[in-house]
């Protein structure tokens, strides 16, 4: 089925973070190592960053798809929450 | 401000029943305060309090309440072992549920003063074709892989089955074995007042703490109030904890040890003091915490992982702190034992008292007991007529091999490091059990884990006996003498009559079998409430058994070795067709669960076991395989596949003879020059035997007279069973 | 027989040190364990970095081990060519992170941990780690057990003669089937093969371990 308007590319960044109260073993050990190396570190958190390049006719549609992918597939809601932002291509 | 309506409501919200609440008030002579109510809600939960199982478990093992795990002796070594489950967490968050399950069982073994040397697992999932089940399966296997491999303990054996009864209630049972010198075993009982309670391990956070209360947590906007704080495992901390604990326990003055498991600080401190007929005091400001906004009751009930409690004499603190620093672990003195039988919790050492309870009231949750009657379902199931099967043996065999319960588990066990430690004498896939070398000796520890949910559903008493005997046969098949048992009892809702009856019958079966085989039950665990929307799982007792191999040069596996070797059936000669109820082929082909299961005849089984062990000891046989799930033909086929050799002979002609399951059967292979010796020996010992056929080259396939099967084709189906199902419908 | 003094390094999270100890002793090497904060000069003929998960494999396997004191001692030891260094599994990962060996170890193609036996072929028989191997008998069976076992390297980072072992059937996507390599000076050997698990027939492997034999031959040469 041919589309009338050409598809554009939209790039979204999904930042996935651990929910409050959930242990972050990697953050924990990295913090200890950095402190041992004498860096003035207060806290270290390991987040995940996933970039989705979506082909759609407009931003609204693309954004909806990004939200759906993030919440249904990429994120483990028991442990994590996410933030979506659009990245402007160069 | 506490008014009595609020406290009672809080107690009910936290899961205590009105009967339990009234019992607490009665025994204390007053209402508990809010903080104390949290303590009771955890200590008197089913998981910590064993309310619905205590009565029965006491019959099983008089010391079940006593130590962290049980042990047997091999030489001057104590072999410590236990099996535990992490079923509900594995349903919520598969990876972490399975991972933390391993962490917990390893710490139980560690707390006895033993170095953990091997892991086994018994996993149950629903219909693998469902995407929900695929997700759970993947998650649990990854979790065991990620955690077990990182802590450097080999996962050497296990079993996995798939049945729709587990669709919403997967089971993840993990068994751990550790080795210690007999005189280095550590107790979990406090041995005197004025001993210090030392906290070693990771910081305490709100892990595992549920928000169902008046004093609800503050949640960030990304939080949802219903979500519990899931425990995340940190295998690096666990590995450090293993090494640190073993070093700490060598220090003179370290008197007792307890893992901080369910209800962490609360249960470990209260039980340790209580077992020593003492009381204790805790100072919450001393507990290492991960976040400053954690509440006092959360500190007490937290299930943060990778923490241990040591009871030490004054004066050892410096030495222990040094070890903790070396291994990047927290160390703190959080309390002490006292002579009076009270459990006191303070905000800080000279500060406000938060709880003061009679320790025996706190620790002794009520015991519930039912007068059970046989449910009608038992008779209905038993009376169901075994359906006749119209399919060909070829088609049935292929369907069975393609079923994930029967297919190769290679996809799973290749994700587990089964060799780290270089003690693994039998790798997965080649025998009915595994064996761990006790280096420096000619001995080895034999290990197996077994279950059969269909048998135990149809007949909890006899089914459980069958499972225990099956475990014994699995050990005997590699030349090991069975020594002792650990059990994990996975059941539905114990408040339901049928489930309560199942549980009682299972315990009775376990007691009988354990007595007959002379294999005491030295440790175990109970998991209730495995149910979904009022439908409970099949009763699933899972048995871990440990045996002794006296001479590792005599260890034997199930592989056929050479063409022209002869194959014998030893034990029961004719399948009793009235007693093939519960056979898996009926479930797979016709979704049929019913009929009468075959039962063990203790006297003849014991003679049979003795005979097989003698055959192995005399180096008379080249392979041994116990005939179990799938029946006789499947046992032959499975052996041919793993040996890459064929079979020619006679196994039976009807479908029921080929695939029906009965107890008390072994197949052995022997050099043709030795077969007359075997026949003579068996005749002398009055053991029944029958020559089934011989080993042939793999090109000749499997020829049982009435049917012929292509080995290459069967191989493909067998090894691709799980991968094919997983790849199906995957995005 | 000359006693070959070996140090087996132990980092927090290491789990293969006892396996290494057992194998080395069976091959008549004397073994000391060294904790990762060791900061003296290494007076040994052979330094062995065993398998396991140092620092939990957090961030990247071997990434944090880089900052341990003993690494400085190893760097001097290698620079001054005072003996041989062997890194197995996690040990190999650490050596690539430190830069003593080229390339890096990435997640297996399958995205899973893989534990199984593999067949390898010895390619370069003229190194201190392979000189005992007979060209007519240069296929061996070893076990691999790793999640991050896929060796990745750029062509300009490694010469052909630095490749000692290649997989007959690539189990994890490693570049050019590379299973074991040496550095340019041929005194550091790294491999994901668990050669230390191949040391006793009870464990299902040969008695003869070609790498230990070669090391002995090299270190006791005239």
Asked if C199 and C205 touch (Cβ cutoff 8 Å), the reply is yes
Q: Chain B closest CA to A90's CA: distance in Å?
A: 31
Query: Is residue B513 a part of any domain in this protein?
Result: no
Q: How far apart are CA A69 and CA A63, in angstroms?
A: 10
Mean pLDDT of B547-571: 97
With both helix axes pointing from N to C terminus, report the angle between C69-79 and C90-98 in degrees, rounded to the nearest 10.
70
Mean pLDDT of B290-317: 95
Nearest to B188 by CA among B258, B92, B286, B86: B258
The CA distances from residue C89 to B210, B234, B340, in Å, are 41, 21, 54
Q: How far apart are CA B295 and CA A34, in angstroms?
A: 29
The single residue of B86, B403, B609, B625 carrying the catalytic annotation is: B86
Q: Do C58 and A26 touch (CB under 8 A)?
A: yes
Q: pLDDT for A54-89, tens place per residue?
A: 999 999 999 999 999 999 999 988 889 999 999 976
Would you say residue B63 has pLDDT above 80? no
Predicted pLDDT at B217:
32
Query: Is residue B18 a part of any domain in this protein?
Result: yes
Predicted pLDDT at B49:
86
Q: Give the chain A residue whose CA is nearest to the CA of C13.
A: A29
End-of-domain residue from the set B40, B60, B80: B60
Of A19, A29, A78, the CB nearest to B222: A19
Q: Do B424 and C112 touch (CB under 8 A)?
A: no
The single residue of B47, B163, B403, B625 carrying the catalytic annotation is: B47
| Interface residue C115 vs chain B (CB under 8 A) | yes
Question: Three-state DSSP class for C56?
Answer: helix
> What backbone phi and psi angles, to 5 degrees, belong to B294?
-75, 135
Q: Chain C closest CA to B238's CA: distance in Å?
A: 9
Q: Chain B closest CA to C132's CA: distance in Å?
A: 24
Mean pLDDT of B27-54: 92
How many domains does one find in chain B?
3
Q: pLDDT for C59-95, tens place per residue?
A: 999 999 999 999 999 999 999 999 999 999 999 999 9
Would you say residue B219 has pLDDT above 70? no
CATH number of the domain encompassing residue B616: 3.90.650.10
Q: Which domains does chain A have, with CATH numbers?
A: 8-20+47-87 (3.30.1280.10)
Would you say residue B208 has pLDDT above 90? no
Of A26, A36, A37, the CB nearest to C59: A26
Query: Which residues of chain C lie closer than 8 angstroms to A30, CB-CB?
Result: 58-59, 64
| Interface residue A28 vs chain B (CB under 8 A) | yes
Nearest to C61 by CA among C9, C10, C14, C116: C14
Predicted pLDDT at A26:
95
Of A20, A23, A81, the CB nearest to B232: A23
Residues 33-72 of A with CB under 8 A from B: none
Predicted pLDDT at B58:
84
Predicted pLDDT at B32:
96
> What backbone phi and psi angles, to 5 degrees, belong to B637?
-60, -45
Q: Chain B closest CA to C46's CA: distance in Å?
A: 21
**Of A4-8, B407-411, B513-517, B544-548, the least confident:** A4-8
Q: How far apart are CA C175 and CA C106, in angstroms?
A: 11
Q: Do B230 and A20 touch (CB under 8 A)?
A: no
Q: How far apart are CA B172 and CA B166, in angstroms?
A: 11
Predicted pLDDT at B5:
57
Predicted pLDDT at A5:
64
Q: pLDDT for B134-167, tens place per residue?
A: 999 999 999 999 999 999 999 999 999 999 999 9
Query: Is residue B674 a part of any domain in this protein?
Result: yes
Would you say residue B48 has pLDDT above 90? no
The model's confidence at residue B55, banded by pLDDT at 50, 70 and 90, is confident
Predicted pLDDT at A4:
61
Asked if B70 and B114 touch (Cβ cutoff 8 Å), the reply is no
| Interface residue C17 vs chain B (CB under 8 A) | no
Q: How far apart are CA B128 and CA B119, in angstroms?
A: 24
Calculate what percentage of chain B has a pLDDT beyond 90.
87
Would you say residue C45 has pLDDT above 60? yes
Q: Chain B closest CA to C217's CA: distance in Å?
A: 25
Of A30, A36, A37, the CB nearest to C58: A30
Element of type H or E holding B274? helix B264-275
Query: Which residues of chain B lie closer than 8 angstroms to A23, CB-CB?
Result: 202, 205, 207, 231-232, 234, 290, 304-305
Q: How far apart are CA B280 and CA B300, in angstroms?
A: 14
Asked if A63 and A22 touch (Cβ cutoff 8 Å), the reply is no
Query: Which residues of chain B lie closer than 8 angstroms to A32, CB-CB?
Result: 328
> What backbone phi and psi angles, to 5 degrees, belong to B417?
-75, 105
Query: DSSP of B655-679, one letter per residue?
Result: HHHHH---SSEEEEEE-TTTHHHHH
Centroid of chain to Cα B379 = 30
Predicted pLDDT at B473:
98
Q: List B174's β-bridge partners, or say none.
A: B84, B121
Q: Chain B closest CA to A64's CA: distance in Å?
A: 19
Would you say residue B68 has pLDDT above 90? no
- With a cut of 0.90, is the ipTM above it? yes
Q: How far apart are CA B17 and CA B49, in angstroms?
A: 14
Mean pLDDT of B274-278: 95
Mean pLDDT of B569-594: 95
Nearest to C141 by CA among C208, C212, C70: C208
Would you say residue B1 has pLDDT above 90? no
Element of type H or E holding B724? helix B711-727
Q: pLDDT for C150-168, tens place per residue?
A: 999 998 999 999 999 999 9
Q: pLDDT for B81-108, tens place per residue?
A: 999 999 988 888 999 999 999 999 999 9
Q: Which domain holds residue B629?
A: 566-727
Would you say residue A21 has pLDDT above 90? no
Mean pLDDT of B376-395: 94
Same domain, B718 and B572: yes
Asked if B97 and B123 touch (Cβ cutoff 8 Å), the reply is no
Report angle CA B213, B217, B220 to the nearest 5 degrees: 145
Asked if B75 and B182 touch (Cβ cutoff 8 Å), the reply is no
To test the contact with chain C by mutation, choose from A30, A38, A46 the residue with the greatest count of C C-beta atoms within 10 A, namely A30
Would you say residue B301 has pLDDT above 70? yes
- Residue B86 is among the residues annotated as catalytic for this protein: yes
Q: Do A22 and B232 touch (CB under 8 A)?
A: yes
E strand intervals along B144-262: 155-162, 171-181, 196-201, 254-259
Cβ neighbours for C221, distance < 8 A, ≥ 6 positions apart = none
Asked if B536 and B494 touch (Cβ cutoff 8 Å), the reply is no
- Residue B88 is among the residues annotated as catalytic for this protein: no
Would you say residue C19 has pLDDT above 50? yes
Q: pLDDT for B306-324, tens place per residue?
A: 999 999 999 999 999 999 9
Longest dimension (CA), chain C: 47
Q: pLDDT for C185-217, tens place per residue?
A: 999 999 999 999 999 999 999 888 999 999 999
Query: Is residue B108 a part of any domain in this protein?
Result: no
The model's confidence at residue B47, banded by pLDDT at 50, 70 and 90, is confident
Query: DSSP of B515-556, one letter per residue?
Result: HHHT--EEEEEEE---EETTEEPPPEEEEEEEEEES-GGG--
Rg value, chain A, Cα: 18
User: In which region does residue B672 sit, left (phi positive, over 0), alpha (psi from -120 to 50) or beta (all else)?
Assistant: alpha
Asked if B642 and B429 touch (Cβ cutoff 8 Å), the reply is yes
Q: pLDDT for B226-259, tens place per residue?
A: 445 678 999 999 999 999 999 999 999 999 999 9
Q: Do A76 and B222 touch (CB under 8 A)?
A: no
Question: Three-state DSSP class for B313?
Answer: coil
Query: Which residues of chain A lie closer than 8 angstroms to B328, CB-CB?
Result: 29, 32
Q: Do A23 and B234 touch (CB under 8 A)?
A: yes
Asked if C111 and C74 touch (Cβ cutoff 8 Å), the reply is no
Fold of C4-219: Rossmann fold (3.40.50)
Query: Which residues of chain B lie closer than 8 angstroms to A77, CB-CB?
Result: 224, 227
Token pair in block for residue B526: 């109970």
Asked if C90 and C51 touch (Cβ cutoff 8 Å), the reply is yes
Q: How confident is the prediction for chain B on average, in pLDDT?
A: 93
Would you say residue B66 has pLDDT above 70? no
Query: Which residues of chain C lie closer than 8 angstroms to B146, CB-CB?
Result: 113
Q: pLDDT for B454-474, tens place per residue?
A: 999 999 999 999 999 999 999
Predicted pLDDT at B531:
94
Cβ neighbours for A62, distance < 8 A, ≥ 6 positions apart = A8, A10, A12, A54, A55, A56
Indicate the domain borders of chain C: 4-219
Query: Which residues of chain A lie closer than 8 angstroms to C64, CB-CB?
Result: 29-30, 33
The model's confidence at residue B223, banded by pLDDT at 50, 70 and 90, is very low
Nearest to B54 by CA among B378, B391, B504: B504
Query: Is residue B343 a part of any domain in this protein?
Result: no
Query: Which residues of chain B lie closer than 8 angstroms to C19, CB-CB?
Result: 420-422
Q: Do C115 and B414 touch (CB under 8 A)?
A: yes
Asked if B635 and B667 touch (Cβ cutoff 8 Å), the reply is yes
Predicted pLDDT at A2:
53
Task: Count A/B contacts: CB-CB distance under 8 Å.
Answer: 50
| Interface residue B23 vs chain C (CB under 8 A) | no
Q: Give the chain B residue whose CA is nearest to the CA of A32.
A: B328
Query: Is residue B362 a part of any domain in this protein?
Result: no
């Amino acid at each position: 089925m041919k589309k009338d308007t050409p598809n554009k590319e939209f790039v979204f960044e999904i930042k996935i973070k651990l929910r409050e109260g959930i242990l972050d073993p990697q953050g924990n050990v990295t913090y200890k190592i950095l402190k041992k190396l004498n860096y003035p570190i207060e806290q270290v958190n390991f987040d995940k960053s996933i970039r989705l390049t979506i082909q759609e006719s407009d931003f609204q549609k693309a954004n909806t798809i990004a939200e759906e992918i993030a919440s249904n597939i990429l994120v483990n809601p028991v442990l994590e929450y996410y933030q979506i932002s659009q990245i402007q291509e160069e | 401000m506490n008014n009595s309506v609020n406290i009672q409501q809080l107690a009910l919200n936290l899961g205590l029943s009105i009967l339990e609440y009234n019992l607490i008030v009665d025994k204390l002579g007053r209402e508990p305060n809010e903080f104390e109510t949290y303590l009771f809600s955890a200590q008197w939960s089913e998981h910590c309090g064993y309310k619905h199982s205590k009565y029965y478990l006491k019959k099983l093992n008089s010391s079940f309440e006593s130590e962290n795990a049980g042990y047997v002796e091999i030489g001057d070594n104590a072999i410590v072992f236990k099996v535990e489950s992490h079923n509900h967490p594995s349903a919520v968050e598969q990876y972490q549920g399975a991972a933390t399950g391993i962490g917990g069982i390893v710490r139980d073994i560690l707390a006895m003063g033993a170095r953990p040397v091997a892991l086994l697992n018994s996993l149950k999932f629903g219909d693998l074709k469902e995407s929900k089940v695929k997700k759970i399966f993947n998650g649990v296997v990854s979790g065991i892989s990620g955690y077990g491999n990182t802590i450097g303990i080999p996962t050497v054996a296990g079993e996995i089955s798939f049945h729709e009864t587990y669709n919403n209630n997967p089971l993840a049972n993990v068994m751990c074995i550790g080795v210690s010198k007999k005189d280095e075993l550590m107790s979990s009982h406090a041995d005197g007042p004025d001993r210090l309670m030392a906290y070693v391990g990771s910081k305490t956070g709100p892990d595992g703490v549920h928000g169902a209360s008046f004093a609800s947590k503050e949640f960030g906007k990304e939080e949802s109030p219903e979500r519990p704080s899931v425990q995340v495992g940190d295998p690096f901390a666990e590995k450090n904890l293993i090494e640190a604990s073993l070093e700490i326990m060598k220090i003179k003055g370290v008197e007792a040890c307890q893992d901080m498991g369910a209800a962490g600080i609360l249960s470990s401190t209260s039980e340790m003091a209580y077992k020593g007929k003492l009381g204790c005091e805790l100072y919450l400001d001393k507990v290492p915490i991960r976040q400053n906004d954690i509440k006092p009751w959360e500190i007490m009930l937290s299930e943060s992982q990778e923490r241990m409690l040591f009871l030490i004499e004054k004066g050892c603190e410096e030495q222990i702190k040094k070890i903790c620093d070396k291994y990047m672990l927290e160390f703190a003195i959080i309390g002490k034992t006292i002579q009076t039988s009270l459990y006191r919790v303070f905000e800080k050492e000279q500060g406000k008292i938060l709880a003061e309870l009679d320790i025996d009231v706190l620790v002794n949750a009520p015991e519930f007991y039912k007068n059970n009657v046989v449910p009608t379902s038992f008779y209905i199931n038993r009376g169901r007529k075994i359906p006749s099967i119209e399919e060909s043996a070829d088609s049935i065999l292929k369907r069975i091999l393609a079923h994930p319960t029967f297919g190769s588990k290679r996809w799973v066990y290749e994700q587990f490091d089964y060799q780290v430690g270089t003690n693994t004498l039998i790798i997965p896939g080649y025998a009915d059990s595994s064996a761990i070398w006790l280096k420096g000796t000619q001995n080895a520890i034999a290990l197996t884990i077994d279950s059969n949910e269909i048998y135990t559903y149809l007949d909890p008493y006899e089914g459980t006996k069958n499972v225990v005997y099956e475990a014994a046969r699995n050990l005997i098949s590699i030349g090991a003498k069975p020594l002792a048992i650990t059990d994990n009892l996975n059941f539905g809702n114990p408040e339901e009559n049928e489930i309560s009856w199942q549980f009682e019958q299972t315990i009775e079966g376990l007691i009988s079998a354990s007595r007959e085989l002379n294999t005491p039950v030295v440790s175990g665990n109970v998991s209730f409430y495995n149910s979904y929307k009022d439908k409970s799982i099949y009763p699933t007792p899972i048995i871990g058994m440990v045996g002794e191999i006296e001479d590792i040069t005599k260890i034997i596996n199930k592989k056929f070795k050479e063409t022209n070797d002869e194959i014998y059936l030893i034990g029961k000669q004719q399948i009793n067709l009235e007693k093939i109820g519960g056979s898996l082929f009926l479930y797979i082909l016709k979704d049929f669960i019913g009929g009468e299961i075959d039962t063990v005849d203790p006297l003849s089984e014991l003679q049979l076991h003795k005979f097989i062990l003698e055959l192995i000891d005399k180096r008379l046989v080249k392979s041994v395989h116990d005939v179990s799930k799938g029946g006789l033909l499947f046992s032959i086929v499975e052996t041919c596949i793993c040996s890459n050799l064929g079979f020619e002979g006679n196994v039976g002609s009807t479908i029921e003879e080929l695939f029906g399951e009965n107890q008390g059967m072994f197949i052995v292979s022997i050099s043709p020059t030795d077969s007359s010796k075997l026949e003579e020996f068996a005749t002398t010992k009055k053991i029944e035997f029958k020559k089934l056929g011989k080993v042939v080259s793999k090109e000749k396939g499997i020829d049982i007279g009435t049917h012929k099967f292509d080995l290459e084709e069967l191989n493909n189906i067998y090894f691709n069973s799980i991968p094919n199902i997983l790849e199906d419908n995957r995005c | 027989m000359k006693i070959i003094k070996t140090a087996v390094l132990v980092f927090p999270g290491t789990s293969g040190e006892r396996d290494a100890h057992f194998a080395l002793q069976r091959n008549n090497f004397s073994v000391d364990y060294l904790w990762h904060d060791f900061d003296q000069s290494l007076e040994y003929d052979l330094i062995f970095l065993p398998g396991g998960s140092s620092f939990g494999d957090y961030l990247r396997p071997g990434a944090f081990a880089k900052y341990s004191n003993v690494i400085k001692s190893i760097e001097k030891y290698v620079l001054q060519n005072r003996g041989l260094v062997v890194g197995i599994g996690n040990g190999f990962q650490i050596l690539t992170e430190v830069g003593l060996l080229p390339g890096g170890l990435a997640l297996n193609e399958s995205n899973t941990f893989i534990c199984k036996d593999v067949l390898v072929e010895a390619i370069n028989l003229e190194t201190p780690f392979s000189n005992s191997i007979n060209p007519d008998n240069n296929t061996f069976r070893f076990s691999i057990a790793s999640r991050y076992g896929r060796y990745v390297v750029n062509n300009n980072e490694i010469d052909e003669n630095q490749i000692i072992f290649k997989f007959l059937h690539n189990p994890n996507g490693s570049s050019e089937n590379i299973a074991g390599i040496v550095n340019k000076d041929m005194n550091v050997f790294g491999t994901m093969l668990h050669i230390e698990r191949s040391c006793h027939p009870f464990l299902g492997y040969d008695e003869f371990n070609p790498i230990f034999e070669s090391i002995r031959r090299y270190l006791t040469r005239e």
